[in-house]
């Protein structure tokens, strides 16, 4: 009982011995609170500290909204930049009508297709051939090989061993869309065939459609030296809806294949000399095996070289004739279909930008989160130790 | 200045100061900690979540962090300051008894571990209940009560031993 009373006495004494703040300090703190602690925030605080303070003052919901809004704005801005870069060259050559982002359109209705015979020794370049792989040659977009209006990249951007080459091998391609009245599609198509014939070109594939969705599409090979004349002739047939030309420098792979072929032929000559000098049957057989292998290699290289030369000699042209009906069916100059198409493209770009952004920001955010957690853990331990 | 923060400040300013002064045993440091705690609370007031606890528990959590940061900065426990307890606050005691108790309590508190002193400060200076103390320290209420009882017992024994 005595012990309990002592405990209570101590408790009462402690409660009554409670420290109280000095009146001056209390008044000063009252003033600070009334002013929203502005004195400290204005005295020598840098902008980063001020921003940090403002962010800390935000509630988690507002912080989330602010972060989300900032991220969304960044994605929108990046998407606009990427979209404008993508559509930049097309805007220079488009003369109106159709979506900037729309590609070749298919035609419905009555169709007739013609597959003209190919010239001997001239096969149509496959898509792979038309778009060379990155390890073989300079990529069109990444190495500035593809440019609008037929510009060719400067030799400064080429690998060193191809700079001294005097002749450059350039692969060209072009797209052109003509706008025509439905009744004019047949005449325009005939004009296209004539123009192709005049420039000694080849019609790889043609599709014409009549009726409500009248139109035509042509896949052409035009001698590269006549490409300018051909494009001028096509442009004169009817109103040009859009026009795009691109070039790819294939000098490097051509020179490389030429050098390999030269080496291979020298090897063959050497093997032939060895064969002539061979004295035993087994020696001759061994040289002949090597010779056969080298000849196969030389033949493959020769074919590869011819393929590259054909790509340089002939330009692939995609031509389409669109009618006002088909244009109207897709909403006129720019309508619902185009809007959906453009929206899809924009969304795809936005998704790409978001993925790239996440790929950059994600690891940084993870590192930041881990650092923050580590700091928090360390601070808790340090505070705990302060009491020990 | 929003009304809720103003109310919190007015209702807990002296308690926060008393807690800091009791733990740190240094008036100047207690004033710094009190001002820092309220400034931090003011800047983070939008992040207060009522589901996680009362405003009072929240401000004491901030004040405790500020006080422990102060202890860390010093790297040692603060020795007894010149006037840790207000002599005027012991007005209910007779003059001799008051003076004696002031000295004894001051010395006894100085000999307590910082953790025990914190419990005393939270309970008797800041006026927190055992549940609030337990929540603040991240322990159970019974554990907080047991530790508090031990600390008071130590204090009492120290006073008894001195007599």
Tens digits of residue pLDDT in A266-276: 999 999 999 89
Q: pLDDT (tens digit, 9 = 90+) per residue, A145-187? A: 333 444 444 444 444 444 454 578 888 899 999 988 888 888 8
First to last CA, chain B: 51
- Residues 9-68 on B with a CB inside 8 Å of A are 9, 13-14, 17-18, 21-22, 27, 30-31, 34-35, 38-39, 42-47, 65, 68
DSSP A36-58: TTHHHHHSS--HHHHHHHHHHHS
pLDDT of residue B24: 87
d(Cα B21, Cα A352) in Å, to the nearest integer? 58
pLDDT surpassing 60 at residue B2 = yes
Higher pLDDT, A48 or B66: B66
**Residue B120: its chain A contacts at CB < 8 A?**
14
Strand, helix or coil for residue A143: coil
**Residue A385: its chain B contacts at CB < 8 A?**
72
Tell whether A19 lies on the interface with B, counting CB pairs under 8 A: yes
Question: Under an 8 A CB cutoff, do A33 and B71 touch?
Answer: no
**Residue B65: its chain A contacts at CB < 8 A?**
383
Question: Under an 8 A CB cutoff, do A56 and B156 touch?
Answer: no
Q: Which of B68, B84, B86 sits opposite A386 (nearest CB)?
A: B68
Closest CA–CA distance from residue A48 to any residue of chain B (Å): 15
Q: Which of B39, B72, B101 sits opposite A13 (nearest CB)?
A: B101
Question: Which ranges of A221-335 does DSSP label H, i.e. alpha helix?
Answer: 227-237, 251-277, 281-313, 324-329
DSSP B88-150: GGGTTS-HHHHHHHHHHHHHHHHHS-HHHHHHHIIIIIS---HHHHHHHHTS-HHHHHHHHHH
Q: How far is CA B96 from CA A376, B83, B87, B101, in A?
A: 49, 18, 12, 9
Instruction: Kindly report the CATH number assigned to the domain that includes residue B145.
Output: 1.20.140
- Among B2, B4, B21, B31, pick the best mutation site for testing chain A contact (most A Cβ within 10 A): B31
Minimum mean pLDDT range among A88-92, A240-244, A268-272, A351-355: A88-92
Strand, helix or coil for residue A173: strand
Which residue from A minimizes the CA distance to B1? A36
Q: What angle do CA A331, A333, A338 make, to 5 degrees?
A: 60
Tell whether B163 lies on the interface with A, counting CB pairs under 8 A: no
**Residue B160: its chain A contacts at CB < 8 A?**
6
Q: pLDDT (tens digit, 9 = 90+) per residue, B77-107? A: 444 444 445 444 444 444 555 567 667 777 7
pLDDT surpassing 90 at residue A319 = yes
CB of A14 closer than 8 Å to CB of B125: yes
d(Cα B110, Cα B77) in Å, to the nearest integer? 9
Tell whether B93 lies on the interface with A, counting CB pairs under 8 A: yes
pLDDT surpassing 50 at residue A111 = no
Question: Under an 8 A CB cutoff, do A14 and B153 touch?
Answer: no
pLDDT of residue B44: 85
d(Cα A149, Cα A145) in Å, to the nearest integer? 12
Structure tokens at B32: 């710094």
Q: Which of B38, B120, B124 sits opposite A33 (nearest CB)?
A: B38
pLDDT of residue B9: 92
Residue A18 CA to its chain's centroid (Å): 71
Please identify which residue in the block is written with the tokens 């704005």: A73
Q: Which of A14, A15, A53 sits opposite B43 (nearest CB)?
A: A53
pLDDT of residue A333: 62
Tell whether A34 lies on the interface with B, counting CB pairs under 8 A: yes
pLDDT confidence band for B162 (50 / 70 / 90): low
Buried b (16+ CB within 10 A) or exposed e, B52-68: eeebbebbbbbbbbbbb
Q: Which of B22, B30, B46 sits opposite A57 (nearest CB)?
A: B46
Tell whether A20 lies on the interface with B, counting CB pairs under 8 A: yes
CB of A302 closer than 8 Å to CB of A154: no
Report the complex ipTM.
0.79
Minimum mean pLDDT range among A11-20, A62-71, A158-167, A327-336: A158-167
Strand partners, A180: A323
Tell whether B151 lies on the interface with A, counting CB pairs under 8 A: no
Question: Under an 8 A CB cutoff, do A14 and B105 touch?
Answer: yes
pLDDT of residue A77: 86
Q: Which of B71, B91, B155 sits opposite A386 (nearest CB)?
A: B71
Question: Under an 8 A CB cutoff, do A32 and B13 touch?
Answer: no
d(Cα A340, Cα A234) in Å, to the nearest integer? 30
Q: Which of B1, B34, B118 sits opposite A36 (nearest CB)?
A: B1
Q: pLDDT (tens digit, 9 = 90+) per residue, A53-89? A: 677 667 677 778 888 888 888 888 888 887 776 554 4
pLDDT surpassing 80 at residue A132 = no
pLDDT confidence band for A108 (50 / 70 / 90): very low
Residue A224 carries which DSSP code? G
Contacts of A297 (CB under 8 A, 6+ apart): A264
pLDDT of residue A325: 56
Q: How far is CA A23 from CA A289, B32, B103, in A?
A: 107, 15, 24
CB-count exposure of residue A315 (10 Å: 0-12, 13-18, 19+): buried
Buried b (16+ CB within 10 A) or exposed e, A9-27: ebbebbebbbbebeeebbe
**Residue A26: its chain B contacts at CB < 8 A?**
13-14
Tell whether B76 lies on the interface with A, counting CB pairs under 8 A: no
| Contact pairs from chain A to chain B, CB under 8 Å | 126
Residue A148 carries which DSSP code? G
pLDDT of residue A44: 55
Domain housing B135: 3-162
d(Cα A352, Cα A345) in Å, to the nearest integer? 10
pLDDT confidence band for A383 (50 / 70 / 90): confident
Average pLDDT rounded to a whole number, residues A215-234: 91
Q: How far is CA B110 from CA A271, B24, B27, in A?
A: 101, 10, 14
| Cβ count near A250 (within 10 Å) | 22
pLDDT of residue A168: 81
Q: pLDDT (tens digit, 9 = 90+) per residue, A259-313? A: 999 999 999 999 999 989 988 899 899 999 999 999 999 999 999 999 998 889 9
Question: Under an 8 A CB cutoff, do A18 and B92 touch?
Answer: no
| Cβ count near A73 (within 10 Å) | 10
First to last CA, chain A: 33
Average pLDDT rounded to a whole number, residues A329-349: 76
Question: Under an 8 A CB cutoff, do B31 and A21 touch?
Answer: yes
For chain B, the domain total comes to: 1
Whether this model's pTM surpasses 0.90: no
Structure tokens at B67: 């006080």
């Amino acid at each position: 009982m005595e012990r309990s009373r002592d405990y209570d006495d101590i408790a009462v004494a402690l409660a009554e011995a409670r420290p109280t703040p000095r009146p001056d300090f209390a008044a000063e703190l009252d003033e600070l609170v009334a002013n929203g602690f502005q004195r400290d925030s204005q005295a020598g605080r840098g902008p980063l500290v001020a921003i940090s303070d403002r962010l800390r003052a935000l509630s988690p919901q507002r912080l989330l909204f602010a972060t989300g809004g900032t991220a969304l704005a960044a994605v929108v801005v990046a998407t606009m930049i990427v979209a404008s870069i993508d559509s930049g060259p097309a805007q220079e050559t488009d003369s109106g009508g159709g979506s900037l982002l729309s590609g070749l359109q298919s035609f419905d209705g009555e169709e007739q297709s013609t597959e003209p015979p190919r010239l001997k020794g001239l096969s149509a370049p496959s898509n792979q051939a038309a778009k060379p792989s990155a390890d073989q040659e300079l990529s069109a977009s990444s190495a500035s090989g593809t440019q609008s209006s037929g510009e060719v990249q400067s030799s400064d951007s080429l690998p060193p061993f191809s700079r001294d080459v005097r002749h450059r091998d350039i692969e060209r391609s072009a797209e052109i869309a003509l706008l025509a009245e439905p009744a004019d599609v047949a005449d325009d198509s005939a004009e296209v065939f004539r123009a192709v014939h005049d420039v000694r070109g080849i019609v790889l594939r043609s599709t014409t459609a009549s009726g409500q969705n009248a139109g035509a599409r042509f896949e052409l090979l035009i001698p590269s030296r006549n490409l300018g004349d051909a494009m001028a002739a096509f442009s004169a047939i009817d109103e040009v809806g859009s026009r795009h030309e691109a070039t790819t420098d294939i000098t490097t792979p051509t020179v490389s294949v030429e050098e390999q072929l030269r080496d291979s032929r020298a090897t063959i000559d050497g093997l032939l000399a060895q064969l002539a000098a061979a004295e035993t049957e087994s020696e001759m057989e061994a040289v002949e095996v090597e010779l056969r292998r080298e000849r196969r290699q030389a033949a493959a290289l020769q074919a590869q070289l011819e393929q590259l030369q054909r790509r340089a000699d002939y330009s692939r042209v995609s031509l389409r004739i669109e009618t006002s009906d088909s244009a109207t069916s897709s909403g006129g100059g720019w309508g619902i279909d185009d809007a959906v198409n453009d929206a899809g493209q924009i969304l795809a770009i936005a998704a790409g930008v978001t993925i790239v952004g996440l790929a950059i920001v994600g690891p940084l955010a993870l590192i930041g989160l881990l650092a923050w957690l580590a700091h928090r853990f360390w601070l808790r331990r340090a505070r705990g130790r302060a009491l020990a | 200045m929003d009304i809720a923060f103003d109310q919190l400040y007015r209702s807990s300013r002296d308690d926060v100061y008393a807690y800091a002064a009791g733990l740190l045993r240094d008036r100047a440091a207690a004033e710094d900690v009190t001002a820092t705690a309220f400034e931090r609370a003011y800047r983070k007031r939008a992040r207060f979540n009522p589901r996680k606890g009362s405003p009072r528990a929240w401000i004491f959590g901030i004040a405790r962090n500020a006080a422990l940061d102060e202890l860390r900065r010093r790297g040692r426990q603060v020795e007894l300051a010149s006037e840790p307890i207000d002599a005027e606050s012991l007005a209910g005691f007779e003059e001799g008894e008051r003076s004696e108790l002031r000295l004894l309590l001051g010395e006894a508190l100085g000999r307590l571990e910082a953790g025990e002193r914190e419990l005393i400060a939270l309970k008797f200076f800041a006026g927190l209940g055992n549940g609030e103390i337990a929540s603040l320290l991240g322990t159970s209420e019974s554990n907080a009560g047991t530790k508090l009882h031990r600390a008071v017992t130590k204090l009492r024994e120290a006073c008894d031993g001195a007599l």
